[in-house]
Amino acid sequence: MINELNKGAILIISGPSGCGKSSLLKKFYEHFTNYYFSISTTTRAPRIGEVHGIDYFFVTKEEFEEDIKNNNFLEYARVHDNYYGTSMKPINQALNEQRLVIFDIDVQGHDLVRKKLNDITTSVFITTPTLNELEKRLIKRNTDTETIIQNRLKNAKIELESLDKYDYFILNDDLDVASKKLISIGHASMIKASLFSKQVIIENWIG
């Protein structure tokens, strides 16, 4: 249960693969320490090097299904006989600790969080100045096949059509400049949540 008068905020970060979200977040974490990065819960076994509570929350099928019954998931899906989902339990805990909860999710995930937690949510869409620049970065990182790169570029065009749903927009052309903007947005999201709390107080006074 979220304490409406004493809670944190949610910051959604979206953008195409290759736009530099991970690099921006590393810079962000150097200046904004009171945060919780939302990670998924899964019933699949940990892979080599994966750590519980860092890469995923690893649980049993029985534990996952019990949380489904108790409506403890923001969203979930079953993929190849394993469950994956976003548990509200660590999110609620972080919010009640007045922390900034960060989601790195796609446009569909953004819409879902907005639908359920809009009052305390701020969102930012991050991308490169041009599609050609995005393609160059994807090629440079040398982790995907040409087919995958083309699919990522196709998806990027589709995601950009949802730009007007977001509160802020950052062109990640200069990492230092873009990271300063993201840090400012992070602070703004906490202010937004505090303003919502003020509205709750007013409503309580009015009765």
State mean pLDDT over 182-203.
74
* b (16+ CB within 10 A) / e for 39-56: bebbbeeeeeeeeeeeeb
Q: Which residues make Cβ contacts (< 8 Å) with residue 29, sequence separation at least 6? A: 35
Task: State residue 3's pLDDT score.
Answer: 46
Would you tell me how many other CB atoms lie within 10 Å of the CB of residue 95? 24
Domains of the chain: 1-34+99-207 (3.40.50.300), 39-97 (3.30.63.10)
The pLDDT tens digits of the residues spanning 97-135 come to: 999 999 998 888 899 899 989 989 999 999 999 999 999
Q: Which residue has the tokens 């309580």?
A: 204
How confident is the model over 44-53, as pLDDT tens digits?
999 899 999 9
Question: Residue ranges of the alpha helices (H) in 76-117?
Answer: 88-96, 107-117
* End-to-end Cα distance, the chain: 22
pTM of the full structure: 0.82
The amino acid at residue 76 is Y
